[in-house]
Amino acid sequence: MTNFINARNDYNELAQKWEDEKVSFTAMLVKLVSMVLVEHPWLNNSLIDDKIILHKDINIGIAVALEKGLIVPVVKNAGQKGINLIAAETDDLITRAREENLNSADVKGGTFTITNLGPFGVEQFNAIINPPESCILAEVSTTSEIVALPGGAIDTRPLMRLTLSADHRIVDGAVAAKFIGDLKTTLDNPILMNY
């Protein structure tokens, strides 16, 4: 997560300078996931009445825990938005969700969900798919861990474990694995958000 964290810090320095929205980890993940989903459309689909519906739009749900349970507001057309707009939208949706001030349009139309238990100190978990979607990505806290570097050196690096849950009736394991591989590459190179 070293490059990811550095990119977020750079965005937030610019945001402060321009009096813009700060960029959260979740906002960056929404942007990067939406970019990777363009190349992996089979993960951006739904199973409705025994029919597989491939979605053209990439609408990323963000699971938000409330006292009364879970709610999933949706960033619509995330694949067509820049990081600043996604940051503003995710902040607004999460704030209104916690204030119980969402409307029905805010929680409809999700095609892929991201859920984050990082604020609870969770380092890995398997998320439950949000029907009728086919996939959900579990985001957790970033931890500093000892890693072996190329050439045999050892150092500590920030790591985050992401877990993808996929409905095997729609998404084959190999297809899901390719998505995760491409997502890892994108997280390692967040500068791709600018292209």
51-87 pLDDT per residue, tens: 999 999 999 999 999 988 899 999 999 999 998 899 9
Model confidence at 195: pLDDT above 70 = no
Specify the pLDDT at position 194: 64
**Is the entire prediction scored with pTM above 0.75?**
yes
Structural domain total, the chain: 1
- Residue 141's pLDDT band, with cuts at 50, 70 and 90, is confident
Q: Which range of residues forms the domain containing residue 52? A: 2-194
Active centre residues (catalytic):
168
CATH of residue 43's domain is 3.30.559.10
CA distances 17 to 23, 80, 193, Å, are 13, 25, 20
Distance CA 124, CA 47 (A): 27
- Interval 19-42 mean pLDDT: 92
Helices (H) and strands (E) in the chain, counts: 4, 10
Q: What is the DSSP annotation of 118-133?
A: GGGT----PPPP-TTB
Specify the pLDDT at position 119: 84
